[in-house]
């Protein structure tokens, strides 16, 4: 079939008019993705200048209107506002009569399930919680990143198929999350993704301090391999001085961090303790080596200057991690 003979996505059945309340990084990307599936973005709301520019870039020619007007124009409304704002927004929209019976109301908060939309449900709306497990930039690249992205889906059982269908149309993979498990699900994602950015940024700062001209180039292959190994093997991928019980090396790290970047010491010790616990539990850290290591982590120092050359080479394995 030639390109000219390909069916237009807009000709598919059940195409919906789409509105966005909250033109942050997420909403315009999801609306643009739904547009590729044939749905029609018809209205967007945003407060800041950055939100307006983002909406103009991602959803050109879609009018900017107040939130109540977005709901008046759209059959499917994306509520893409910060978690702490969401409950009050939903209550306000319901109390003012902005919510229409039969309207699909979708929020993208990881923290909340469908119950936060109960005020709108009582007004006749159809509540869906669709949280993309992805970090967003607010640029068109976000639409491409949605391909294969997992979405945490929570909805009333009778709307489960509709929720999953919308995720699939955006190129995502639906993953059902029970209502009561949403906070735990969101904590898991924040622990992995948000804290990863902090760790990588701190690591790059320290490498610059150590004289490395291109820390991103140095870390890229190492962190890519570490992430791949972790996803494939879990705790079995643990390596480095903590997993090996090299107390002297860890003490040297702490000493250097105290001297050059004291603000990173607490985080280093916390992650090292967590790593030691997991390494012990999975038989990677030998118990006879754990005592000295845990003593270093408890005190933040081993009482020496941490310059033992044998430990400084990071062991016979020579593993840079």
Mean pLDDT computed over 187-216? 96
Predicted local distance difference test score (pLDDT) of residue 12: 52
Contact criterion met (CB below 8 Å) for 170 and 150: no
Domain covering 8-177: architecture: 3-Layer(aba) Sandwich (3.40)
Q: Where are the domains of the chain?
A: 8-177, 185-312
**Mean pLDDT for the chain?**
90
Model's pTM, two decimal places?
0.83
CB 26 within 8 A of CB 132: yes
**How distant is the alpha carbon of residue 77 from its chain centre?**
22
SS3 71: helix
Interstrand relation of 150-154 and 126-132 (parallel, antiparallel or unpaired): antiparallel
Of 63 and 318, the structure prediction assigns the larger pLDDT to 63
Considering just the CA atoms, what is the radius of gyration of the chain in Å? Answer: 25
pLDDT of residue 47: 86
Structure tokens at 90: 């939903």
What local confidence, expressed as pLDDT, does residue 39 receive?
97
Are residues 100 and 130 in contact, defined by beta-carbon separation less than 8 angstroms? no
The answer, yes or no, to whether residue 224 has pLDDT greater than 60, is yes
CA separation for the pair 43, 107 (Å, rounded) = 16
Mean pLDDT along residues 317-321:
40
At residue 82, φ and ψ (nearest 5 deg) are: -60, 150
């Amino acid at each position: 079939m030639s390109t000219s003979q390909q069916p237009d996505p807009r000709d598919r059945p059940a195409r919906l008019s789409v509105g966005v309340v909250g033109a942050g990084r997420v909403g315009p990307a999801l609306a643009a993705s739904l547009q590729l599936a044939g749905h029609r973005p018809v209205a967007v709301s945003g407060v800041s200048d950055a939100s307006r520019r983002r909406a103009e870039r991602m959803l050109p020619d879609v009018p900017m209107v107040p939130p109540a007007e977005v709901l008046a124009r759209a059959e499917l409304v994306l509520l893409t506002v910060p978690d702490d704002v969401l409950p009050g927004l939903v209550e306000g929209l319901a109390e003012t009569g902005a919510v229409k019976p039969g309207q699909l109301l979708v929020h993208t908060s990881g923290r909340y399930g469908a119950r936060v939309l109960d005020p709108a449900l009582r007004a006749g709306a159809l509540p869906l919680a669709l949280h993309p497990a992805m970090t967003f930039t607010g640029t068109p690249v976000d639409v491409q990143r949605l391909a294969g992205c997992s979405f945490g889906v929570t909805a009333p059982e009778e709307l489960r198929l509709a929720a999953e269908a919308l995720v699939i149309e955006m190129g995502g993979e639906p993953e059902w999350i029970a209502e009561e498990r949403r906070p735990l699900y969101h904590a898991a994602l924040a622990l992995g993704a948000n804290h990863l950015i902090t760790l990588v940024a701190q690591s790059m700062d320290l490498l610059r301090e150590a004289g490395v001209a291109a820390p991103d180039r140095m870390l890229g292959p190492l962190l890519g391999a570490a992430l791949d190994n972790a996803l494939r093997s879990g705790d079995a991928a643990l390596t480095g001085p903590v997993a090996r019980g090299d107390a002297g090396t860890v003490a040297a790290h702490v000493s250097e961090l105290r001297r050059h970047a004291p603000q990173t010491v607490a985080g280093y010790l916390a992650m090292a303790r967590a790593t030691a616990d997991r390494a012990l539990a999975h038989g990677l850290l030998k118990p006879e080596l754990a005592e000295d290591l845990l003593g270093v982590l408890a005190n933040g120092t081993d009482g020496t200057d941490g310059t033992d050359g044998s430990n400084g080479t990071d062991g016979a394995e020579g593993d840079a991690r």
